[in-house]
Each structure stands twice: as structure tokens, then as C-alpha cells.
């Protein structure tokens, strides 16, 4: 089995580190994909202190193997502008995405 890659930009890592300060010890950012959303799948980001047997860790980020299949070669980024700041997943596997960027199809 080929190792699946998930990338975290420097700006995302910096933001995750800042957010982890207010979380319980051992917390990590969990990135997952769930069914639903206007394009078929939607991204979910949440803090979690539990690491499951099927999780793959990327520093302070964990992704379950099922989600990682849909996220392979993706990059988690954090962007800030005058009007908004947000995490964004740049997913080369997505064939379509909704206008808000939280939902995609493959």
C-alpha cells in the first residue's frame, strides 16, 4: 500500500498551534470527510483528543484512512484577508466544489 500524503501549509500549522493553546492537552485538529453538502461530500475540521486505530497523524493533525483516500495529496491552508480568515483544503481530487468551498465531489 502506498503511503497517502496530506500536506499542511506553514500558515495553517501556525494557526493550528495558536488554536491548540486553548484546547485540552493532547488535542489535535481532526480533518475528515463526511457525506452530504451540496456537492456530495463535505469537509469537517474539529479538535479531538482521541486518536483512533485507523487515524494517520500529520503532526498536530489527524485524518482517518477513509477520509484520507478522498484527501490524498491535498493541502490544508489558512488564509486571512480583510473580510475573513479561514482554513481551506486544496484538494486535487475534487472534480467540483460548491461556492462556499466546504463541499466537493470526486
Q: The dihedral of CA 18, 24, 102, 91: what is its sign?
A: positive
Burial class (CB in 10 A: 0-12, 13-18, 19+), 68: buried
| Boundaries of every domain in the chain | 6-105
CATH 2.40.30.20 fits 6-105, yes or no: no
Q: Write down the pTM of the prediction.
A: 0.84
Residue pLDDT tens, the chain, 106 long: 445 689 999 999 999 999 999 899 999 999 999 887 666 788 899 999 999 999 999 999 999 999 999 999 999 999 998 888 999 999 898 876 665 556 566 6
Amino acid at each position: 500500500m502506498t503511503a497517502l500524503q496530506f500536506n499542511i501549509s506553514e500558515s495553517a500549522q501556525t494557526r493550528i498551534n495558536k488554536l491548540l493553546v486553548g484546547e485540552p492537552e493532547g488535542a489535535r485538529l481532526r480533518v475528515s470527510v463526511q457525506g452530504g453538502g451540496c456537492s456530495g461530500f463535505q469537509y469537517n475540521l474539529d479538535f479531538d483528543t482521541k486518536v483512533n486505530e485507523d487515524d494517520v497523524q500529520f503532526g498536530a493533525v489527524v485524518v482517518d484512512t477513509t477520509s484520507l483516500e478522498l484527501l490524498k495529496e491535498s493541502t490544508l491552508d489558512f488564509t486571512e484577508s480583510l473580510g475573513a480568515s479561514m482554513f481551506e483544503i486544496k484538494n486535487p481530487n475534487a472534480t467540483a466544489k460548491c461556492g462556499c468551498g466546504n463541499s466537493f465531489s470526486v
